[in-house]
């Protein structure tokens, strides 16, 4: 295999540099979740294409760690190679650091590329390997040295968002951030995370597919705001916009010089999980580091009224595309050839018909039958299952519009389905309704609410190995923190204005995968002597396939919720549809 040949070349280079083990994370210099083709070193060396994972290579072993979303996919993609899969957060599998502790000896050299390795990860390695005399070497991009046909470094042009779209100008956002810096007696804020920079300066780009960000750094002081970016990415208009908002533009690599010249005794705020160790090393030892969640991350998580209003419009557009898509499947299944890939391309056509469509917000998950059991399955033109007039089909997709970022999942029947499929779908729906209709006290975290969606599944001995909900950016990353709904503990309270997904599911290897996802915004509910209560307001309105439901398993309240939701779907979408589609949608949203 090509992967095995690459591995042998890497080991030869490791031997030449006297390196005992080499770590390859899924990362870029900005610790992005999704990365450019240029930075996909882990994919290149392992053959695993998922968005999360870490590879460790020694002289005689090669291990891939990834999470529960990718277990099935990873097994298939590394089959036949020298790589072994270690399952994260699974009993019997050590973490990569625990594994290294058992494999490395005193004096061994452990290497990584410091430009893509987070400072927090370096410090964790140092702490965990402290009892051994391991030499940490952060200066080698070994993959880059042997990757002869590596893609070009991203070079997309910047575009800017007017205040009528962003809701606030960069000047206003910078002022708001500085107020918080002053309150905490902080002199500088260093940003490495691309979505934080894009939000703060109202700039967007296409350096990373589906994520409208610009590869850059930002530094904010009490008086000045700096953007470090390849100047070839700017234009006369974008330079004028940045200048008007008091933002100085410097070359991308100049960040090192600016950071190295921060005054002695200054207080510098940064988030070590979002700053690479190469940049962190440039900070003078005399500077006081305040390691905390980026102020901008907290601020952009709460959407302003303009963003929420536009987000509603984006979902009308997106759900119209989906309704046309499902109608197209319903009227053509069995009449024309259909497969996972050709169908997702058809959905893209419907999205492109919508005004102000920019691009997809992530790679579409179009999965038929047992493929849907792989949570982040990706069909290709050369590898795609043909549709039959039976079984379940899952489509998880979204778009970037000038009105916002969307993400929605539906599972539909392409024909007769089994009683097991119908039961699993209905249990997923019960969990979805249980959470989306919840009212909860202000200050409650998503962790505290996660069990609401899992409870109906747990009663039948079922669970899903992923979170239930993630935040969504505004014309930004489809996954946005710091809030989330998940079984893994977190103490970030859900606040009014936060946008988040609700997406429970059932995934059975070799059988089927089911997910029902809607997007909501947190809103105020009632206020009582016990305090202010919050609720979820639905943003996404798209039919939930009634043919997949075992109605006998639903309570009267659950049926009422579904009927009310479907009435809203019809009322919001039908004015934009022709008579044929209106008639089809009326049937799909009928009362049960």
Q: Which pLDDT score is estimated for 1? A: 75
How far does the chain reach from its first CA to its final CA, in angstroms? 54
Identify the three-state secondary structure at position 400. Answer: strand
Topology (CATH level 3) of domain 305-562: Creatine Amidinohydrolase (3.90.230)
pLDDT, position 240: 98
Where b means 16+ CB within 10 Å and e means fewer, 330-357 reads eeebeeeebbbbbbbebbbebbeebeeb
For residue 532, what are the CA distances in angstroms to 97, 190, 484, 523? Answer: 44, 35, 20, 11
User: Per-residue pLDDT for the chain (592 aa), expressed as one digit of tens each?
Assistant: 799 999 999 999 999 999 999 999 999 999 999 999 999 999 999 999 998 999 999 999 999 999 988 898 899 999 999 999 999 999 999 999 999 999 999 999 999 999 999 999 999 999 999 888 899 999 999 999 999 999 999 999 999 999 999 999 999 999 999 999 999 999 999 999 999 999 999 999 999 999 999 999 999 999 999 999 999 999 999 999 999 999 999 999 999 999 999 999 999 999 999 999 999 999 999 999 999 999 999 999 999 999 999 999 999 999 999 999 999 999 999 999 999 999 999 999 999 999 999 999 999 999 999 999 998 888 999 889 999 999 999 999 999 999 999 999 999 999 999 999 999 999 999 999 999 999 999 999 999 999 999 999 999 999 998 999 999 999 999 999 999 999 999 999 999 999 999 999 999 999 999 999 999 999 999 999 999 999 999 999 999 999 999 999 999 999 999 999 999 999 999 999 999 999 999 999 999 9
Q: Do domains 2-146 and 159-292 have the same CATH topology?
A: yes
pTM: predicted TM-score of the whole model, two decimal places: 0.95
Gyration radius (Cα) of the chain, Å: 25
pLDDT of residue 256: 97
Question: How far apart are alpha carbons 201 and 173 in whole angstroms?
Answer: 8
What CATH fold (topology level) applies to the domain 2-146? Creatine Amidinohydrolase; Chain A, domain 1 (3.40.350)
Alpha helices (runs of H) in 207-332, residue ranges in sequence order: 236-244, 255-260, 277-280, 295-301, 305-332
- Cβ neighbours of residue 226 under 8 Å, at least 6 residues apart? 218, 219, 220, 247, 248, 249, 250, 258
* Best CA proximity match to 276, nearest among 70, 118, 52: 118
Quote the CA–CA distance of 182 and 542 in Å, as a whole number. Answer: 45
Instruction: For domain 159-292, say whether CATH 3.40.350.10 is its number.
Output: yes
Q: What is the β-pairing status of strands 469-471 and 531-538?
A: unpaired
Can you list the alpha helix ranges (DSSP code H) found in 333-476?
340-352, 419-436, 446-458
Q: 167-221: per-residue pLDDT in tens? A: 999 999 999 999 999 999 999 999 999 999 999 999 999 999 999 999 999 999 9
The residue ranges of every structural domain in the chain are 2-146, 159-292, 305-562
């Amino acid at each position: 295999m090509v992967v095995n040949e690459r591995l042998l070349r890497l080991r030869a280079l490791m031997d030449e540099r006297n390196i005992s083990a080499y770590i390859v994370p899924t990362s870029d210099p900005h610790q992005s979740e999704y990365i450019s083709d240029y930075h996909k070193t882990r994919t290149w060396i392992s053959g695993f294409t998922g968005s999360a994972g870490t590879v460790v290579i020694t002289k005689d072993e090669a291990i891939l760690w990834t999470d529960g979303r990718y277990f099935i996919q990873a097994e298939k993609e590394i089959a036949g190679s020298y790589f072994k899969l270690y399952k994260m957060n699974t009993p019997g599998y050590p973490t990569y650091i625990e594994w290294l502790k058992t494999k490395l000896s005193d004096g061994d050299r452990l290497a990584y590329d410091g430009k893509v390795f987070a400072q927090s990860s370096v410090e964790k390695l140092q702490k965990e390997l402290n009892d051994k005399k391991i030499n940490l070497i952060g200066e080698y991009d070994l993959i880059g040295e042997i990757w002869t046909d590596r893609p070009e470094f991203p070079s997309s042009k910047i575009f800017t968002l007017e205040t009528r779209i962003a809701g606030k100008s960069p000047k206003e956002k910078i002022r708001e951030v500085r107020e918080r810096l002053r309150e905490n007696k902080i002199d500088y804020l260093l940003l490495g995370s691309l979505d934080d920079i894009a939000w703060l300066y109202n700039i967007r780009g296409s350096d990373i597919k589906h994520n409208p960000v610009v590869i850059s750094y930002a530094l904010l002081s009490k008086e000045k705001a700096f953007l470090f970016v390849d100047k070839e990415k700017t234009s006369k208009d974008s330079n004028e916009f940045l200048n008007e908002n008091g933002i100085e533009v410097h070359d991308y690599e100049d960040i090192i010089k600016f950071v190295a010249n921060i005054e002695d005794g200054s207080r510098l705020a940064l988030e070590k999980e979002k700053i690479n160790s190469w940049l962190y090393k440039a900070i003078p030892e005399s500077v006081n580091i305040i390691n905390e969640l980026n102020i901008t991350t907290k601020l952009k998580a709460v959407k302003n009224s303009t963003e929420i209003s536009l987000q509603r419009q984006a979902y009308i557009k997106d759900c119209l595309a989906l309704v046309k898509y499902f109608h197209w499947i319903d009227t053509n299944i069995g009449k024309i050839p259909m497969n996972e890939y050709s169908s997702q391309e058809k959905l893209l056509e419907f999205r492109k018909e919508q005004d102000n469509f920019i691009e997809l917000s992530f790679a579409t998950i179009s999965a038929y039958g047992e493929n849907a059991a792989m949570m982040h399955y990706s069909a290709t033109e050369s590898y795609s299952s043909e549709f039959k007039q039976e079984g379940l089909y899952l489509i998880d997709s979204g778009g970037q519009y000038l009105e916002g970022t969307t993400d929605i999942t539906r599972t539909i029947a392409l024909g007769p389905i089994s009683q097991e499929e119908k039961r699993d779908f209905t249990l997923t729906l019960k969990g979805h309704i249980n959470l989306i209709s919840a009212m909860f006290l202000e200050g409650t975290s998503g962790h505290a609410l996660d069990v609401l969606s899992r409870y109906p599944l747990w009663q039948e001995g079922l669970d899903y190995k992923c979170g239930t909900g993630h935040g969504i950016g505004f014309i930004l990353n489809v996954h946005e923190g710091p809030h989330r709904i998940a079984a893994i503990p977190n103490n970030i309270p859900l606040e009014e204005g936060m946008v988040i997904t609700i997406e429970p599911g059932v995934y059975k290897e070799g059988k089927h995968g089911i997910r029902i996802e809607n997007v909501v915004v947190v809103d105020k509910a009632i206020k009582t002597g016990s305090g202010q209560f919050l609720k979820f307001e639905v943003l996404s309105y798209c039919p939930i396939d009634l043919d997949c439901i075992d109605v006998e398993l639903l309570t009267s309240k659950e049926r009422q919720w579904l009927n009310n939701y479907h009435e809203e779907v019809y009322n919001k979408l039908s004015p934009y549809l022709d008579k044929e589609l209106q008639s089809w949608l009326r049937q799909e949203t009928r009362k049960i």
